[in-house]
Amino acid sequence: MAMSTTSSSLSSLSSLSLHPSPRLSILPFTAAATPATKPRKPISLLLSSSRPTTVIFNAAAADVETSFFDNEDPEFDGVFEPPEAPEDFVPPPSFDEDSTETEDEIAAAYEELYGPAYSGVTMLGNDIYVMDSKVKKLGAFGKLKKEKVRDGFEERVVQVRRVTKVVKGGKQLHFRAIVVVGDKQGNVGVGVGKAKEVIGAVQKSAVNARRNIISVPMTKYLTFPHRSEGDYGAAKVMLRPASPGTGVIAGGSVRIVLEMAGVENALGKQLGSKNALNNARATVVAVQKMRQFRDVARERGIPMEELWK
């Protein structure tokens, strides 16, 4: 029976002739490796009998020896044996054994990864309004609306005037704005800007004022340490300290500068031109001349009590 099966297999395979094309071969093709010059290579086939049967093909391009195994069971379930752990291996702690994190620690970790949350509360001291600047808000006529800078400074418009520039083709109309910014804690700045629209002029002057921030020396009663005078152009301003409860007795742009600086008790007087911009800058010049008593005592190398002797 085995011999008949083998003979029938040989007769069926003898009619097969393998002539692989060089374009379809997986091996590099050479001109010398042709069916006429390449010797025949025996190929082993394992049929139903226990001994393999060798069949000779016309293997021209590749010398392949193929064996078919029919006694393998594809449904065989093998047993997996994991490797043994080394001697110095220490297993990691379990997830449930770690200490439970608090809600604040989870919120801080989340904020460190993804930034400040939208809840308006920060655990790491970040700016909670950082996402507001990325939201595009449209104002009137579909124009992009600019948000105010939230840096702790307040803005107050002193004056807005319409100015005209005469050019060759006619007149150019612009608006000039004077803005004073301050945090009411001793920092104040005066700025001026010009644009074709009032809003643009105010924004430019606010930016210019933030670039010229100065520090105002004050006592614990929120007044000046001593009297001072300042002038800018034709404007001249006189500043005097006042007792608690007096308030700010000044007018024009001098009063606005002192209020934005946080001064609550002071006397001011304009002694020259009534120009708002020059008086505001003259007030800044007068403030810059003031010095604290402790700074003067430190420079002289004497205690503060010696200053009044």
What are the sequence ranges of the domains in the chain? 154-215, 228-301
Among 221, 229, 227, 309, smallest CA distance to 265 is for 221
35-83 pLDDT tens trace: 445 555 555 444 444 455 454 555 454 566 666 666 777 777 778 888 8
159-193 pLDDT tens trace: 999 999 999 999 999 999 999 999 999 999 999 99
Give the confidence band of 155 by pLDDT, cuts at 50, 70, 90: very high
Options 3.30.160.20, 3.40.1390.10, 3.90.1150.10, 3.40.50.2000; which CATH number does 154-215 get? 3.30.160.20
Exposure string of 116-147, with b = 16+ CB inside 10 Å and e = fewer, is beeeeebbeeeebeeeeeeeeeeeeeeeeeee
Cα end-to-end span (Å), the chain: 136
Q: For the domain bounded by 228-301, which CATH number is listed?
A: 3.30.230.10
**CA–CA separation, 228 vs 290, rounded Å?**
7
Per-residue tokens: 274: 């009534």
Looking up tokens 């007018």 gives 251
Question: For a pLDDT cut of 90, what percent of the chain falls above it?
Answer: 48
Q: What is the pLDDT of residue 121?
A: 67
Give the confidence band of 105 by pLDDT, cuts at 50, 70, 90: confident
Q: pTM to 2 decimals?
A: 0.54
Contact 194, 204 (CB under 8 A): yes
**CA–CA separation, 181 vs 158, rounded Å?**
10
Of the ranges 28-37, 65-74, 232-241, the best mean pLDDT one: 232-241
